[in-house]
Structure 1
Amino acid sequence: MTVTEDVRDDKRARGPVGSRVKPSAALARRRSASWAPMVFAVVIGAGAGAGSIVFRWCITTFTHLFSGHADYAADPGSGNPHVSWLGPCFVILAPVVGGLLYGPLVQRFAKEARGHGVPEVMLAVAQRGGRISPKVAVVKTLASALTIGSGGSVGREGPIVQIGSALGSTLGRLARASEERMRLLVACGAAGGIAATFNAPLAGVFFAMELILGTFSAEAFGATVLASVTASVIGRAAFGDTAFLTLPDFHVDHLAQYGLFALLGVVAAVVGVGFSRALYLVEDACDWAWRGPEWLRPAVGGLLLGLVLLALPQMYGVGYPVLQKATEGGYAVGFLLLLMLGKMLATSLTIGIGGSGGVFAPSLFIGAMLGSAYGVVAHRLLPASAGAVGAYALVAMGAVFAGAARAPITAVVILFELTGEYSIILPLMLAIVLATATGRLLTRDTIYTLKLRRRGIDLDGPASGAPIGGQPVSAVMEPLPSALAASTSLEDASDLLSRSGHGALPVVGDAGEYVGVVTARALAEALAEQPQAAPGRIGRLAEPPAIVTADQSLAQAMHTLLSAAGTGLPVLDEPNGKPVGWLSHQSALRAVHTSRPQPVRSPSRAA
């Protein structure tokens, strides 16, 4: 609610001059409504924090049950003391047993809990009004913990995002929140989950806004911050306030290092996009090969995963101890590259057979292996200027994720918070920006949106069955209103604009060329500021708006229309860029009305 509206409503609440009555019920409701998202954000943050504690406890419990270790990647190749007679070969059976447990669970209660989770949350926010089944929180917790505990080479960020988002959606449904408010509560759950699980409150906020909501606003920022802080407090009380990695101080001592970091950003983007492609290539292969019931697929596919773990036991679970050792220079270049490729295969296979887990931690792992190998080679070629090997590992971790997910702000913030290493921030920003740009050049989809597009879902397009969105703009646009000449005075333009019925009008130059659009708001502000002695011309107020073309889908054009000033936008012809029509909110609504099937009148009623 704006300040003006608050003052206006407060004046209505006052009685005659000199008297004062209690605020009206409407004003009280509006004030309470403005506080509701903040209260809900705190509650959701607390729930996400508690959920992260339960989730991590489940992972530790199942890992110890299946491997006999708190984290098998810390001692790869050892045996399981529970079945010591199997030696290291127990890793062949662990994914099979885990699959027999979580396969039927997911198939029976929540199929959307399969996979890495974030795409389902993005879809719920973009096209389903933020609605996520509450069953997902419970099923995702158990399925992901069983997957990771039994050797699945996936991360825990995707599950906790889906768990926290399901909590936010459930609370919104109980409170009968609007769709817009529901989306915000889902984002609060995602922010709280990331913050508590990784001890990264800022990263939780930017992850929710950049990847889940896809937009930034003051209300969304405030609510997600509250959820993130609340979840972080609970998470730190349970897990302690420690950094994700313990690294020595890094310093850029030579300007040539910036060139090396820039090149690393480009290489990391290629690797990140390659990881995304490999993930879905293996998933396609699993879909093609499997002909049995879905509930049995994780167990049968677990045999293949077990063989991979037997050959490379470092792939068991999330693999943070291996990542830490790589940043410390504990592996040779050849083995680092083998671990990088092995992680791509193990993660892809875990997801392909129906496992449940995230892809963020694997992208960090892949980046650490790539960066360490790159740093070793750079140090051998340029020993005087290359610098520390661990710095390249840290930078590549963020760059691979940025190249795959194209979330540069999240990548910078989360790497800074996960490591607590500020001295590397400039090279990190440079490499991540270049990785994001390179990733955008290589593919239009991210590792998250590609999963949805393969199912025929475009997050920028209409929801399935929606009455609006599939039509081309040319089919619904109105005739172009009379344009204003750039030389028209402000006073004359004001008269013409007020009688046009539009909140904005196109402006053309002396030669008839299209200049831009002038809005009623811009004109009113100019008239209020300009002295009466200065006539002024409308051409200086014309600004080119965001482009809408005639062959564009209405769903894509609606995003542009809703964010534009005024009540409409000119529709441009793609070849020459000249306006050929006008798209307004009314014409978009008219498309909804005409696309609905009309009721058939019975003959008797017609008579």
Structure 2
Amino acid sequence: MKKHQESHTGSLLASWFNFKFRLLAGGVTVGLLSGAAVVLYRYSLETALSAAHSVYSFERTHVWLIPLWFIVLILGGWVTGLLVKKHPMIAGSGIPQVKGVLKGKLEMNWWRVFLAKFAGGTLSIGAGLSLGREGPSIQIGASIAQGFSKVLGKMKTEENFLITCGASAGLAAAFNAPIAGVIFALEELHSSFSPFIMMSALAASLAADFVSKEFFGLGPIFHFTGLGAVPLSQYAHLLGLGAVVGCMGIGFNGALYKFQNLYRRLPVRQEFKPVLPFLLAGLLGLVMPRVLGGGNDLVNELMSGHFTITALFILLAVKFFFTLLSFGSSAPGGIFLPMLVLGSISGGLYTQIVNGLAGYPALETGRFLILAMAGYLTASVKAPITGIILITEMTGSFTSLLSTGIVCLTAYTVAEIFRSRPVYEVLLERITSRGAAAEPEAPAGKSVMEIPVHPGSSLDGLRIKEFSWPPHCLIVSIRRGELELIPGGEARLQGGDYLVILTDHRYASDIRDRLTDAASDCSAV
């Protein structure tokens, strides 16, 4: 047994230093497979939601159909609840679950998650719930990647890299945004820069984006035309807009957690909880169909600037409440796209109020609408680079990069001042704390991980022998730029180094958490 473990360890280390090109090929393959799966999912959502809108239009002239449709919605909500009850990993967005899998805190059965998430997401978003396709697309992509790894018998370390590739491909295919898919993997899923992740995720995202554009066309998600850069004379308003959407993003996070708590206290079994937002979707489909689904068509409508302040306030309130009610029920669906819509409505309100106070159209609605989307997302997720790149790719406009960056930086600063935590980080803690998906029983074998040393952290400037390292971990090498250093007790760590750590699977999650904290804690600075 010991000889077998030594052989496995040697094989693992040898592959770690020589698998860049294999990982690149795996990323392309995963991108094509995940892209195809997400394209099918996206097509199913659009077909189902279009059919629902047709039903609502028909109901306005054929009232007798309304009771029958509400019965269908009740059944749809019940089936969705049953799926969530049987497969807790498909509840909600799916992004926290993917993060949990990568951190070793959650376990995912790839084919069950794929089928249940596909079916549950199609039912929920297709019925009109205010949920986005990006979260399910990311989890579907990750599940396809995990299945690919399992079928080919990949080692756990390589499997995690490929799961990251699948998640990146899912976002790229969902929004036609390949670069945002890569940045999302680096900034949100891993919270660090790694050449391995960047290279493989980029390959997967580009492959998935190719598949998506082959099916849906080359155009961006939002159809904005004729928008120029924000004049320098209006840059003071960027700070004001960033502060406003920053506060609103923080408020959205807090309200989201409260609605989750409210649903948990309801004396109703899990399979019946999604019925409430399904019924509300039926009502809103008759009186305010604009708020159904993710809402990207609503963003295109807002570009016209023909909405009054009163209409925008009503839209904001209804969309906000409907999103919280939909997501809080644990129905499969994301919050990325609804947050972008809420941000766009907020941007429209900001321009309407400023223009009303000025007495003339001082600000152009379209420009500030785009900026508000990026700022709102940044304040909630606390991933500013992802917000900037995602909005740029979704709009196809590169003229507002500077102004978008200012709004996102302001919104991020507001979130930091109020010590608001990233929404997906909190959601992951809630999943693991309530035992919705217990921590997996670690498989036998070894795992290799990369830990980036941040400048100013506890490890920066320390000799290896001066730090109390967790048991059951071995520092295999130190990557410093293009150099690969063999570690010794006298070796001094520097900010920007990458520690390559070898450990057993059973200790990997705890060691990753402890070393990541030590390598990123800059409180002493």
TM-score by length of 2: 0.78
> Is 1:172 aligned to residue 149 of structure 2?
yes
What is the aligned partner in structure 2 of residue 375 from structure 1?
Answer: 351
> What does 1:392-407 align with in structure 2 at a 5 Å threshold?
392-407=368-383
Residue equivalent to 2:131: 154
Q: Does 1:423 align with 2:399?
A: yes
Q: Answer whether contact 2:250 2:420 (CA < 8 A) is retained.
A: no
Partners of 1:443 and 1:30 lie apart in 2 by 38
* Distance of aligned partners of 1:448 and 1:230 in 2 relative to their CA distance in 1, 3 Å threshold: same
* Alpha carbons 1:257, 1:385 under 8 Å: kept: no
- Name the counterpart of 2:54: 68
Contact 2:143 2:163 in 1 (8 A): yes
CA deviation vs aligned residue, 1:67-123 (integer Å, no higher than 9, x gap): 427xxxxxxx73349x93347787755542321332223333x22111111111111
1:443 deviates by: 3.4
1:267 aligned residue? 244
The correspondence for 2:183, drawn from 182, 202, 206, is 206
**Which of 161, 168, 181 is the aligned partner of 1:184?**
161
The structure with higher relative contact order (CA 8 Å, sep 6+) is: 2
Matches within 5 A, 1:28-39: 33-39=19-25
Give the Cα–Cα distance (whole angstroms) in 1 for the partners of residues 65 and 351 of structure 2: 36
Q: Is the 8 A contact 2:53 2:285 kept in 1?
A: no
Report 1:591-602 matches (<5 A).
none
Q: What residue is the counterpart of 2:45 in the other structure?
A: 59
Report what 1:240 is aligned to: 217
Query: 2:326 pairs with 350, 364, 371, which one?
Result: 350
Q: Indicate how the Cα distance of structure 1 residues 93 and 284 shifts in structure 2: closer, same or farther if over 3 A, else same.
A: farther
More displaced 10-residue stretch of structure 1: 175-184 or 60-69: 60-69
Does residue 313 of structure 1 match 2:289?
Answer: yes
Query: What residue in structure 2 maps to residue 469 of structure 1?
Result: none
* Residue in structure 1 matched with residue 262 of structure 2 by the alignment: 285
Q: Taking structure 1 as reference, are residues 91 and 270 closer, same or farther at Cα in structure 2, changes over 3 Å only?
A: farther
Would you say the 8 A contact 1:253–1:385 is kept in 2?
Answer: no
Structure 1 residues 364, 106: closer, same or farther in 2, change over 3 A? same
| Contact kept in structure 1, 2:84 and 2:331, CA below 8 Å | no
2:84 aligned to 95, 106, 114, which one? 106
In 1, distance between residues paired with 2:108 and 2:493? 41
| Deviation per residue, 1:458-501 (Å, 9 max, x gap) | 9xxxx7999xxxxxxxxxxxxxxxxxxxxxxxxxxxxxx9xxxx
Q: Which residue of 1 aligns with 2:504?
A: none
The 1-side partners of 2:278 and 2:73 are apart by 5
Three-state SS of the structure 2 residue aligned to 1:78 is helix
The share of aligned pairs that are identical, in percent, is 25
Tell me how far apart the structure 2 counterparts of residues 30 and 448 of structure 1 sit (CA, whole Å): 30
Q: Say if 1:44 and 1:185, in contact at 8 Å, map to a contact too.
A: yes
1:417 & 1:89 partners in 2: Cα distance? 42
User: Is contact 2:20–2:196 with CA below 8 Å preserved after alignment?
Assistant: no
Unaligned runs of 5+ in 1: 1-24, 70-76, 467-496, 507-519, 526-540, 547-552, 565-571, 578-607
TM-aligned CA deviation for residue 281 of structure 1: 1.5
Q: State the alpha-carbon separation in 2 of the partners of residues 558 and 163 from structure 1.
A: 30
Could you list the per-position Cα deviations for residues 243-279 of structure 1 after superposition, in whole angstroms to 9, with x for gaps in the alignment? 1222233335643311101110111011111112222
Cα deviation, 1:22-56, whole Å, max 9, x if unaligned, reads xxx99997887332211211111011111112102
CA-based RMSD: 3.7
The 10-residue stretch of structure 1 (260-269 or 206-215) with the greater mean CA deviation from structure 2: 206-215
Distance 1:191 1:332, change over 3 A: same
CA–CA distance in 2 between the matches of 1:301 and 1:505? 56
2:110 is aligned, of 130, 133, 136, to 133
Instruction: Decide whether aligned partners of structure 1 residues 37 and 93 sit closer, same or farther in structure 2, where only a CA change above 3 A counts.
Output: same
Residue segments in structure 2 that go unaligned for 5+ positions in a row:
1-10, 443-461, 468-477, 484-491, 498-509
Q: What residue number does 1:559 align with?
A: 516
Partner of 2:367: 391
Give the deviation of 1:301 after TM superposition: 5.1
Find out whether 1:42 has 2:21 as its counterpart: no
Partners of 1:437 and 1:464 in 2: CA distance: 36
Relative to 1, partners in 2 of residues 1:179 and 1:443: Cα closer, same or farther, differing over 3 Å? farther
The residue type equivalent to 1:395 in the other structure is L
- After superposition, the C-alpha distances for 1:132-187 in whole angstroms (9 at most, x for unaligned) are 53311111111101101111110000000000011112222233333332221111
Q: Which of 1 and 2 has greater Rg?
A: 1
Contact 2:49 2:127 in 1 (8 A): yes
CA contact (8 A) 1:395 1:427 kept: yes
Q: 2: CA distance between counterparts of 1:340 and 1:382? A: 23
- What's 2:57 paired with? 78
**Counterpart secondary structure, 1:355:** coil
